[in-house]
Amino acid sequence: MKTCNFRKIFSFFRSVCYNKATSPGKETPPMPKPAITLHTPLTEFHGVGPTRAAALAKLGLHTAADLLAYFPRDYEDRTLRESIAVLPPDAPAAVSALIAEPLRTSYLRAGMEVTKGRAVDHTGQLELTFFNQSYVRRALHPGQAYVFYGQVTVHGTRRQMTNPIFEPEGKWAQIGGIVPVYPLAAGLSQNFLRTLLRTALSACLNQIEDPLPPALRAEHRLVGAQEAYRAIHCPATWADLQAARRRLMFEELFCLNLGLTYLRTRRECESALPFPNQDLSALTGSLPFQLTQAQRRAIDEAAADLRKPTPMSRLLQGDVGSGKTVVAAACALFAYQNGCQAAFMAPTELLAHQHQATLKTLLRQAGLRVALLIGSMTPAQKRQTTAALAAGEIDLVVGTHALLSEGVQFARLGLVITDEQHRFGVGQRAALAAKSGGDLHPHVLVMSATPIPRTLALMLYGDLDLSLLNELPPGRTPVETYLIHENKRPRLYNFVRKQVALGRQVYIVCPAVSQEDPDGVKAAEQYGHALQTEVFPDLRVGIVHGKQRSKEKQAVMAAFAAGDLDVLVSTTVIEVGVDVPNASLMVIENADRFGLSQLHQLRGRVGRGTHQSYCVLLSDSENPQTRQRLKTLAATTDGFALAEADLKQRGPGDFFGTRQTGLPQLRLATLEGDLTLLQEAQTAARQTIQTDPPLTRPDHQALRRRISALFQEKGEIFN
Ligand code: ADP
Ligand code: MG
Q: Is 557 exposed, middle or buried (0-12, 13-18, 19+ CB in 10 A)?
A: buried
Summarised one tens digit per residue, pLDDT across range 361-402 is: 999 999 999 999 998 899 999 999 999 999 999 999 999 888
In this structure, the residue with its CA closest to atom 22 of ligand 1 is: 473
Contact 204, 44 (CB under 8 A): no
Q: What is the largest CA-CA distance in the chain?
A: 101
Alpha-carbon distance of 552 to 561, in angstroms, equals 14
H helix intervals, 393-514: 426-434, 454-460, 489-501
The verdict on the CB of residue 324 being under 6 Å from ligand 1 is: yes
Statement: residue 16 has pLDDT above 60: no
From ligand 2's centre to the CA of 320, what distance in Å?
7
The verdict on the CB of residue 293 being under 6 Å from ligand 1 is: no
Summarised one tens digit per residue, pLDDT across range 214-251 is: 999 999 999 999 999 999 999 999 899 989 999 998 89
Please give the radius of gyration of the chain, using alpha carbons only, rounded to the nearest integer: 32
The verdict on the CB of residue 316 being under 6 Å from ligand 1 is: no
Of 93, 117, 95, the closest CA to residue 106 belongs to 117
Of 408, 446, 405, 441, the closest CA to residue 424 belongs to 446
DSSP calls for 656-680? HTHHHHTPPPPSS--SSTTHHHHHH
Task: Read off the pTM.
Answer: 0.66
State which ligand 1 atom lies nearest to the alpha carbon of 358: 16
Neighbours of 401 (CB within 10 A): 19
The verdict on the CB of residue 321 being under 6 Å from ligand 1 is: yes
Of 170, 107, 156, the closest CA to residue 127 belongs to 156
Neighbours of 438 (CB within 10 A): 8
The distance from CA 468 to its chain's CA centroid, rounded to whole angstroms, is 23
pLDDT of residue 658: 35
- Please, what is the Cα angle at 361 between 360 and 364, to 5 degrees? 75
pLDDT of residue 649: 58
Backbone angles phi, psi at 567, to 5 degrees: -125, 135
Summarised one tens digit per residue, pLDDT across range 407-463 is: 888 999 999 998 865 555 556 666 776 776 667 888 989 888 766 665 566 666 666
Mutate to test the pocket of ligand 1, among 354, 421, 579 (most ligand atoms within 8 A of CB): 579
* Polymer length of the chain: 719
Residue 474, helix vs strand vs coil: coil
Alpha-carbon distance of 410 to 435, in angstroms, equals 6
DSSP calls for 45-78? STT--HHHHHHHHHTT--BHHHHHT---SEEEEE
Summarised one tens digit per residue, pLDDT across range 615-647 is: 999 998 888 878 888 888 888 877 777 777 766
Contact 104, 110 (CB under 8 A): no
Residue 590's contacts (CB-CB under 8 Å, 6 or more residues apart) are 510, 511, 521, 522, 618, 619
In this structure, the residue with its CA closest to atom 5 of ligand 1 is: 323
Return the minimum-mean-pLDDT range out of 151-165, 492-506, 532-546: 151-165
Q: Which amino acid is at 544?
A: V
pLDDT of residue 11: 37
Alpha-carbon distance of 387 to 173, in angstroms, equals 73
Mutate to test the pocket of ligand 1, among 284, 286, 287, 289 (most ligand atoms within 8 A of CB): 289
DSSP calls for 77-88? EEPBPS-GGGPP
From ligand 1's centre to the CA of 295, what distance in Å?
10
Identify the nearest ligand to the CA of 283 by its number: 1
From ligand 2's centre to the CA of 601, what distance in Å?
10
The distance from CA 678 to its chain's CA centroid, rounded to whole angstroms, is 19
Residue 398, helix vs strand vs coil: strand
Contact 568, 507 (CB under 8 A): yes
Alpha-carbon distance of 173 to 27, in angstroms, equals 10
From ligand 1's centre to the CA of 292, what distance in Å?
10
Summarised one tens digit per residue, pLDDT across range 580-620 is: 889 999 999 999 888 777 788 889 889 888 889 999 999 98
From ligand 1's centre to the CA of 397, what distance in Å?
21
Summarised one tens digit per residue, pLDDT across range 657-677 is: 333 344 455 666 655 556 678
Residue 16's contacts (CB-CB under 8 Å, 6 or more residues apart) are none
- The better pLDDT of the pair 55, 35 is held by 55
Alpha-carbon distance of 707 to 129, in angstroms, equals 53
Alpha-carbon distance of 59 to 53, in angstroms, equals 10
Task: Label residue 37 left, alpha or beta by phi (over 0 means left) and psi (-120 to 50 means alpha).
Answer: beta
